Amino acid sequence: MNKAIRGRALTGTALALAVSTALSACGEEGSSTAGTKSDTTATAAPAATVKDPVVATFDGGLYILHGESLKLAKTIDLPGFSRVNPAGDKDHVVVSTDSGFRVLDATVQTLTDIEYKGAKPGHVVRHAGKTVLFTDGTGEVNVFDPTDLSGGEKPQGRTYTSAEPHHGVAIELADGRLVSTLGTEEKRTGALVLDKNNREIARNEDCPGVHGEAAAKNEAIGIGCEDGILIYKDGEFTKIDAPDDYGRIGNQAGSDASPVLLGDYKTDPEAELERPTRISLIDTDKKKLRLVDLGASYSFRSLGRGPHGEALVLGTDGALRVIDPNTGKVEKKIPVVGQWQEPLDWQQARPTLFVRGHVAYVSEPGKKALHAIDLETGKKITSVTLPNSTNELSGVVAGH
């Protein structure tokens, strides 16, 4: 397995969910469905078009599931460790493999010939109608319109290569500006901004250990640091310091419906694996950071945003917390899975959250289960049992 393969799982919507960018999740340290409220065993269905497919990885392949019933539509064999992220349209999912990014047509359940080759494929970001791929091993950034994937050929899009390969991330704004991280394989320091012709127009190197991104309301871009978070908004960088000397915000989730970003928060630089209980809420308007103790730990695959901008965190106590991003108040705790603990190896399976519209999909690897939860009512829509324990969880997400 290539332990350098990384990417973002993200949250988004198949309807009018106002989430502008995928959750930039990485383990460096680390339409509403209506189904029945009963547990069923997933069974293979005849090969046919799958509506609103959900895709889950397992050791050696991919499961493609019907979005409403969660019944298993097809199993695709794929050796090695893979990651999955929405491509940004109604049909496709980006699969990170040992050799690069591959494009899966999930509705017809087949891996296409579209591939972005390169060592250590990393973050996949969707924003303002564009999808951006960052290949860590080469520093190459590829930007494309996901609607062009339907033609079956590799989309013609923008490319940019970082000065040095590094574990990075990039996002293109609505006007064509590209925000991309700065760093080397040994050290990451900040971010720069390029105009639509790839000319540098701004940079900030006050962001040690830069990792992950998310977009908030009014196109405020957050980039995580080991001592806070860097915000790029209205053409300017602003650093929001953490209250601790080491206060790492490495994974974030944003929503077009809220100026507040949701982030993780870690304070022990020496930990083999820190299991934090606090999350960060970053107000990009007021340039303030709030910490909220959840009373339970979580992992980098636990963060998401709801259709109204609510912050979502799946805790190790098995409950999905619905949090008001403006006040930090936990408004609802929805029991979903059994108690769990984050494994030391980031590639090992753990319960994972994927949000689409008003539905939260949550995996439970210990029981080989997958659940769909109605975020409005807090009730389970359906659950299925799969042949193998799943790891990453994603699906198609049209719109940004």
Q: How far apart are CA 167 and CA 82, in angstroms?
A: 17
How confident is the model over 152-198, as pLDDT tens digits?
899 999 999 999 999 999 999 999 999 999 999 999 999 999 999 99
Contact (Cβ atoms closer than 8 angstroms) between residue 359 and residue 374? yes
Q: What is this structure's pTM? A: 0.89
Torsion of CA 276, 349, 134, 185, to 10 degrees: 70
Contact (Cβ atoms closer than 8 angstroms) between residue 249 and residue 264? yes
For the chain, give the number of residues: 400
Contact (Cβ atoms closer than 8 angstroms) between residue 286 and residue 254? no
User: Which pLDDT tens digits describe the chain residue by residue (400 residues)?
Assistant: 433 333 333 333 333 333 334 344 465 443 222 333 334 444 444 458 999 999 999 999 999 999 999 999 999 999 999 999 999 999 999 999 999 999 999 999 999 999 999 999 999 999 999 999 999 999 999 999 999 999 889 999 999 999 999 999 999 999 999 999 999 999 999 999 999 999 999 999 999 999 999 999 999 999 999 999 999 999 999 999 999 999 999 999 999 999 999 999 999 999 999 999 999 999 999 999 999 999 999 999 999 999 999 999 999 999 999 999 999 999 999 999 999 999 999 999 999 999 999 999 999 999 999 999 999 999 999 999 999 999 999 999 986 4
Contact (Cβ atoms closer than 8 angstroms) between residue 35 and residue 372? yes
Tell me the CA distances in angstroms from 246 to 176, 226, 264, 269, one per residue in order.
34, 6, 13, 7
Residue 128: per-residue pLDDT? 97
Cβ atoms within 10 Å, residue 201: 11
Q: How far apart are CA 48 and CA 107, in angstroms?
A: 8
Contact (Cβ atoms closer than 8 angstroms) between residue 356 and residue 93? no
Torsion of CA 14, 398, 218, 355, to 10 degrees: 40
Residue 20: per-residue pLDDT? 37
Cβ atoms within 10 Å, residue 339: 12
Q: How far apart are CA 393 and CA 110, in angstroms?
A: 17
Give the single-character DSSP code of 153.
S
* Residues 97-101: contacts with CB under 8 Å, at least 24 apart: 97/5, 97/121, 98/2, 98/5, 100/135, 101/133, 101/135, 101/142
CA atoms within 13 A on the CB side of 387: 16
How confident is the model over 37-95, as pLDDT tens digits?
334 444 444 458 999 999 999 999 999 999 999 999 999 999 999 999 999 999 999 99
Amino acid symbol at 267: T
Residue 31: per-residue pLDDT? 27
**CA angle, 369 as apex, 56 and 322 as ends, to 5°?**
85
Q: What backbone phi and psi angles, to 5 degrees, belong to 134?
A: -120, 120
Amino acid symbol at 10: L
Q: How far apart are CA 209 and CA 226, in angstroms?
A: 6
Residue 399: per-residue pLDDT? 60
3-state secondary structure of 148: helix
Tokens 């296409």, located at residue: 112
Helices (H), 172-297: none
Buried/exposed 61-88: b ≥16 CB within 10 Å, e otherwise: bbbbbbbbbbbbbbbbebeebbbbbbbb
Cβ atoms within 10 Å, residue 112: 16
Q: How far apart are CA 240 and CA 230, in angstroms?
A: 6
Q: How far apart are CA 185 and CA 212, in angstroms?
A: 16
Structure tokens at 235: 């053409």
Give the single-character DSSP code of 305.
E
